[in-house]
Amino acid sequence: MRARRLELCVPSDSAIDPSDLEVTLRVLATMNGLDEEHPDFVAVRRATARMFKSVKKNRRLEKRAEIADADRAVVAATATGAPDRIDDETRGIPLAITVAAPTAGTLLKSRPCYICKKHYTQVDAFYHQLCPDCAAINHAKRDARTDLTGRTALLTGGRAKIGMYIALRLLRDGAHTTITTRFPRDAVRRFSSLPDSGEWLHRLRVVGIDLRDPAQVIGLSDAMIEAGPLDILINNAAQTVRRSPGSYAPLADAESAPLPDGPLPELLTFGHTNDAHPQALAASVGSHPILANAGGLSAAELTELALAAGSSSLARLAAGTAIDAGGLVPDHHDQNSWTQFVHEVDPLEML
């Protein structure tokens, strides 16, 4: 039987006719008696290969989906993997575990541990991304406390999420804590609203700062030096994932609203915190006594020269007015930051 006749026996837009199906099954039954190299056997094999491949593919996809659904259900029963988990725990409420057992279940497909990369299937009821060994270590450390009375701490990015939790742990353990954020008034409202804020609010200082602004970073450094020795430094701040312009509108508007009555933490800003970037940087750099002294040029003039052809010509080099494409003045000194000590390096270059 030819492969073409087999294809014609199976209409694509209707069920198979019973008589056609009977013929098909009878022909297929005779295939066992043919040699695999026989032309008829080869023709039937080619005609049915796509069907079998499609069936196998669908079975693999179904099996994969079943495994994914089962593993997803296990993860959903954990504290950190629950789909209804509040990602921004603004009230300082600990995450809840929805299962009583130490493990939430067993994965059908193993996963690498987030810390040690060892594959695991037993899922901890709290830490869904950790193997049992690493989860046990983190459980032992999670609620560890220590007396930080008299200690001073600086935490960048302490307004929300893990930053807020770190700040609360420092404050509740007795540390004088400074946190940084681009939305300081929102941070003040968050911390002031906590039930136990009266016990530690006087030890909290909120600094409104845009860490992309060198002038503000220098201002923060000066303020920390003036405050005295620093015992703890936690760099939690990171470049925020870019979102649509309207995403930050409520937060930005709230920064202009009055703060609540009652005890409040110390609030410090360096200006331009809520201005548009990079215009804020041009204004801030241009007004700073150290950063503005770049060969007598304003920030805008420096950028304009860096983008103009011929700004580092021989004539400009001789006149001392050359600026290269990176906005840099050609260096004729025999000493630079490669050979200087940290305290000798200009703040702008360090950033």
Task: Give the burial string for 26-55 (b: 16+ CB within 10 Å, else e).
Answer: eeeeeeeeeeeeeeebebbeebeeeeeeee
Tell how far CA 196 is from the center of its chain.
Answer: 30
pLDDT at 298: 45
CA distance 157 to 93: 19
The residue assigned the tokens 């009878």 is 26
The answer, yes or no, to whether residue 27 has pLDDT greater than 90, is: no
pLDDT tens, residue by residue, 96-130: 555 556 888 999 999 999 999 999 999 999 899 99
Cα dihedral 311, 312, 316, 319, rounded to 10, equals 130
CA distance 42 to 35: 9
pLDDT at 218: 86
Domains in the chain, CATH or no CATH each: 3-66 (no CATH), 77-142 (no CATH), 152-272 (3.40.50.720), 294-351 (no CATH)
More confident residue, 238 or 292: 238
pLDDT tens, residue by residue, 288-321: 554 455 555 543 444 344 334 445 444 554 555 5
pLDDT at 325: 34
Neighbours of 110 (CB within 10 A): 14
The answer, yes or no, to whether residue 31 has pLDDT greater than 80, is: no
Query: pLDDT confidence of 164, banded at 50, 70, 90?
Result: confident
Strands (E), the chain: 103-112, 119-124, 152-156, 176-181, 204-208, 232-235, 266-269
Residues belonging to the chain: 351
pLDDT at 279: 46
Token digits for 308?
A: 């103009």
Query: pLDDT confidence of 239, banded at 50, 70, 90?
Result: low
Is the separation of the CB atoms in 264 and 198 below 8 Å?
no
DSSP 186-232: HHHHHHHTSTTGGGTGGGEEEEE--TT-HHHHHHHHHHHHHH----E
The pTM is what? 0.59
The answer, yes or no, to whether residue 9 has pLDDT greater than 50, is: no
> What proportion of the chain, given as a percentage, has pLDDT over 70?
65
The residue assigned the tokens 């990171």 is 238
Is the separation of the CB atoms in 179 and 159 below 8 Å?
yes
Bridge partners (DSSP) of residue 178 are 154, 205
Average pLDDT over residues 336-347: 71
Run of H or E residues at 338 = none
Task: Supply the mean pLDDT for the chain.
Answer: 75
